[in-house]
Chain A
Amino acid sequence: MSDTLVIQGGRIIDPANGRDEVADLFVADQKIAGSLTAAQRKNARVVDARGLVVAPGLVDVHVHLREPGQTHKENIETGSWAAAAGGITTMVCMPNTVPACDNAGTIQLINDVIQQKAVVNIHPTGCITIGRAGEKLAPIGSLARAGVKAITDDGTCVQNNEIMRRAVEYAAMFNLVVMDHCQDDHLTDGAVMHEGEWSLRLGLRGWPSAAEDIIVARNVILSAHTGAHIHLQHISSAYSVDVIRRARPRGIKITSEVTPHHLALTDVCLRDYNTNFKMNPPLRAEEDRQALIEGLLDGTIDIIATDHAPHTDYEKDVEFDYAPFGIIGLETSLAVCLEALYHSGRCDLSFLLARMTHKPAAIVRLDKGTLSEGADADICIFDPDERWVPEAANSFSRSRNSPWHGQPLRGRVKHTFVAGHQVFDGEKITSPKAPGQEIRPSGMSKAPFRESR
């Protein structure tokens, strides 16, 4: 059963309601309560939040949970643990599973596993095209009926403009957002890192910004002509930010996201060929990073999403050209964003949290990410100033492909609640859904990630 809670003396920051004050927060019957009755108060559990920020549970609309089909990398259960440890209480998982989520049956399977195993809220997405092959529309109506919150071919990009046009027209009928991974495949053939001085220096095949910019422009045009909502995933280039910025005043229904790693890191990080800096889209130049921050600050870019992309150590620990793209991000997302935006003085906490709570929820039409009275009691309590070092051995994800392991960060999640249940207490997963008190990925040693890289 859900606890009745008094979260005492914390700084409540609820951006959706413009609230930022030190106060007590009440939870009863899995919801945020305006007050508690004397009887409720007597039995309530008191959570001491003095000196901490009490925020809505974070919402992440871009994660890869690898189930079904690639559960050696991650599964819905371990992914939900990692989310809980990162203060994320709602996430939207991508459909590039094996098989791909291009049919209602796979969605049903995923929803069943979520029901049984997940300690946070998870919503699946469906594919735009069959097998994410970009050739034939997936049964978008059936996927909508099965409960997907968006459609996307994430990891690949629909190259055929006619198919993309029909997809957005058709999906709009179901009030479904189409999320696009913006990448012109011809321009990125064989590419492994941002095309620039560092790709020349390292002798690695360059991935030009134009590959993203062209598809961003394509999507702006399609959205303008159809009136449909297209969400641009993990924007990485300065020019793309500029294209979006020009589209916004014209009322075009384009939204976009940026990842913590694109806000924090650049292509210089690849100087040692460390594959934990290899991602798609690639880390770009410092000018791009600054433009992404500017875009987020002026509202051009709407939200932050992690693109949590687990891969095993043996998949990543290979020659740079052969390593898969992506890094995990759920457990470090808040701290990395605090470092890149708040501690660096670029924005205040409320501004940042808005982009990690109610704004992403709105993009997928979810009523989440607020501490409004009556809202689901999904809560993230964190210390914005605590310094800590994420360690691979303490990671809850099944994979350890994070560039932040061993790197000091500032800002740490202390408690996570989902519908009033505590799922994370600052050290361990505490969900009643999990057997025993402390949960670890089974069969996973605590040995550190190979140090050779």
Chain B
Amino acid sequence: MNAALSPVAHWTRKDLVGIEELSREEIECVFTTAEQFKATLGRTVKKLPSLRGRTIVNLFLEPSTRTRVAFEIAASRLSADVITIAGTSSSIVKGETLRDTALNIQALNADMLVLRHSAAGSANYLAKMINIPVINAGDGAHEHPTQALLDAFTLREKFGRDLKGLKVTILGDILFSRVARSNIWCLQKLGAEVTLAGPATLVPPLFARFGVRISHDLKEALHEADAVMLLRIQHERQTSTHFPSLGEYTSMFGLNRLRATWLKPNAIIMHPGPINRGVEIDSELADSGRSVILEQVTNGIAVRMAVLYLCAAAAPAAPNPTFSTAP
């Protein structure tokens, strides 16, 4: 990797807000870059100089473990300076708006902003507002682009670089899931066939407009799948009752040892985390050889390094007008 951040073919975006607007070439470009970074993860000295001197601010206004830490590690590995602001420790609790918070972060000479927010569209909103790159680390039920990229990256490692014809079933709370939406776009752009499964209230039929198949019959949804992605039931986004109880959800749609036998022998089990053991997945299945859940987490570092690197390279030379030396 060139420390001077040479522009990369196929990537011209300063922001990564969603997968929906990306081309297949752009997605492949992230993978190619991530593969090179992944090769460095095993080294004793893990740091690369690529983003030396740059400051990345992680603004996390919703709880997160994996995504936040993966972004912090990814930025550190690229030698950037990293500052993480959590919602409860920011001036947002004093009534400062997201707009003003972002403008202040830009004025504080940050070079990139990574945003996690409970409101859909908030990354789109900031990307238009500020000049520095904005990376969406999850906005409400809209998109979680780096999660979908690391999921597809993991699938490529397991099934080969061409995902054409691969059958992926996404099971669970689709309606409130940004991970599902990003994966629907990403997997289909890469040629995979996507089935959405779960209770009718959480998998409304209108999703079929996006080109996916919908099933409320778990056996049918699982038996042809090469991979099943489980999603957590998002209690925090449900204001009304979309299903009777977690217990009933588990009894109808939880992945257990019996239901796992419906899968093809080489099918893998994925989960973006956090997992709720005994709810959407049996504990032993989560720890079984079919589960790639922790590999997904590790790949999250390489994919996020790639995204930070590509967006930094595509950003204008002096993104922050306050600090421009121009007359």
Question: Least Cβ distance of B27 to chain A in Å?
Answer: 18
| Known A200-B210, A320-B121, A320-B125; 6 more pairs at CB < 8 Å | A273-B125, A318-B99, A319-B119, A320-B119, A453-B125, A453-B128
Residue in A closest to B61 when the chains form the complex, CB atoms: A319
Q: Which of A204, A317, A318 is within 8 Å of B120, CB to CB?
A: A204
Task: Check B120 against A201 for contact (C-beta < 8 Å).
Answer: no
Pick from A203, A272, A321, A452 the residue with the most CB of B within 10 Å. Answer: A203
The answer to whether A203 and B97 touch (CB under 8 A), given A196-B206, A273-B124, A452-B128, is no
Q: Chain A, 168-202, contact with B by CB distance < 8 Å: what is the 0/1 string?
A: 00000000000000000010011000001100111
CA distance A204 to B202 in the complex (A): 14
Whether B183 is near chain A, meaning CB under 8 Å from some CB there, is no
For the complex, count residues of A whose C-beta is within 8 A of B.
22
Whether B204 is near chain A, meaning CB under 8 Å from some CB there, is yes
Residue in B closest to A193 when the chains form the complex, CB atoms: B120
Q: Chain A, 315-329, contact with B by CB distance < 8 Å: what is the 0/1 string?
A: 001111110000000
Contacts of B118 on A, CB cut-off 8 Å? 321
The answer to whether A319 and B129 touch (CB under 8 A), given A197-B206, A202-B142, A203-B178, is no
Residue in A closest to B177 when the chains form the complex, CB atoms: A203
6 contacts between A and B (CB under 8 A): A200-B206, A202-B121, A204-B140, A320-B122, A321-B120, A452-B128
Question: Least Cβ distance of B84 to chain A in Å?
Answer: 20
Contacts of B119 on A, CB cut-off 8 Å? 319-322
Task: Check B204 against A200 for contact (C-beta < 8 Å).
Answer: yes
The answer to whether A272 and B99 touch (CB under 8 A), given A197-B209, A203-B143, is no
Whether B239 is near chain A, meaning CB under 8 Å from some CB there, is yes
Whether B44 is near chain A, meaning CB under 8 Å from some CB there, is no
The answer to whether A190 and B181 touch (CB under 8 A), given A197-B209, A203-B142, A320-B120, is no
CA distance A205 to B122 in the complex (A): 14
CA distance A201 to B97 in the complex (A): 25
Contacts of B200 on A, CB cut-off 8 Å? none
Contacts of B204 on A, CB cut-off 8 Å? 200
Task: Check B207 against A319 for contact (C-beta < 8 Å).
Answer: no
Task: Check B139 against A203 for contact (C-beta < 8 Å).
Answer: yes
Whether B304 is near chain A, meaning CB under 8 Å from some CB there, is no
Contacts of A204 on B, CB cut-off 8 Å? 120-121, 140-142
CA distance A439 to B247 in the complex (A): 65
Question: Least Cβ distance of B288 to chain A in Å?
Answer: 32
Contacts of A201 on B, CB cut-off 8 Å? 20, 181, 210
**Would you list which residues of chain B between 54 and 79 have a CB under 8 Å from chain A?**
none
Question: Least Cβ distance of B230 to chain A in Å?
Answer: 19
Task: Check A319 against B128 for contact (C-beta < 8 Å).
Answer: no
CA distance A452 to B126 in the complex (A): 9
Contacts of A319 on B, CB cut-off 8 Å? 98, 117, 119, 121-122, 125
Whether B240 is near chain A, meaning CB under 8 Å from some CB there, is yes
**Would you list which residues of chain B between 251 and 299 have a CB under 8 Å from chain A?**
none
CA distance A321 to B139 in the complex (A): 11
CA distance A273 to B142 in the complex (A): 11
Question: Least Cβ distance of A188 to chain B in Å?
Answer: 10
Question: Least Cβ distance of B176 to chain A in Å?
Answer: 8
Contacts of A321 on B, CB cut-off 8 Å? 118-120, 140
Residue in A closest to B143 when the chains form the complex, CB atoms: A203
CA distance A273 to B175 in the complex (A): 19
Task: Check A200 against B207 for contact (C-beta < 8 Å).
Answer: yes
Task: Check B120 against A189 for contact (C-beta < 8 Å).
Answer: no
Residue in B closest to A197 when the chains form the complex, CB atoms: B209
CA distance A115 to B324 in the complex (A): 55
Contacts of B210 on A, CB cut-off 8 Å? 200-201
Q: Chain A, 233-252, contact with B by CB distance < 8 Å: what is the 0/1 string?
A: 00000000000000000000
CA distance A189 to B125 in the complex (A): 24
**Would you list which residues of chain A between 318 and 357 have a CB under 8 Å from chain B?**
318-322
Q: Which of A203, A314, A452 is within 8 Å of B129, CB to CB?
A: A452
Q: Chain B, 124-158, contact with A by CB distance < 8 Å: what is the 0/1 string?
A: 11001100000000011111000000000000000
Contacts of B120 on A, CB cut-off 8 Å? 202-204, 273, 320-321
Contacts of A318 on B, CB cut-off 8 Å? 97-99
Task: Check A273 against B129 for contact (C-beta < 8 Å).
Answer: no
Task: Check A203 against B124 for contact (C-beta < 8 Å).
Answer: no
Pick from B120, B141, B143 the residue with the most CB of A within 10 Å. Answer: B120
Question: Least Cβ distance of A370 to chain B in Å?
Answer: 46
The answer to whether A189 and B240 touch (CB under 8 A), given A201-B20, A273-B121, is yes
Question: Least Cβ distance of B319 to chain A in Å?
Answer: 15
Residue in A closest to B118 when the chains form the complex, CB atoms: A321
Contacts of B140 on A, CB cut-off 8 Å? 203-204, 321
Contacts of B206 on A, CB cut-off 8 Å? 196-197, 200
Contacts of A314 on B, CB cut-off 8 Å? 97
CA distance A201 to B19 in the complex (A): 12
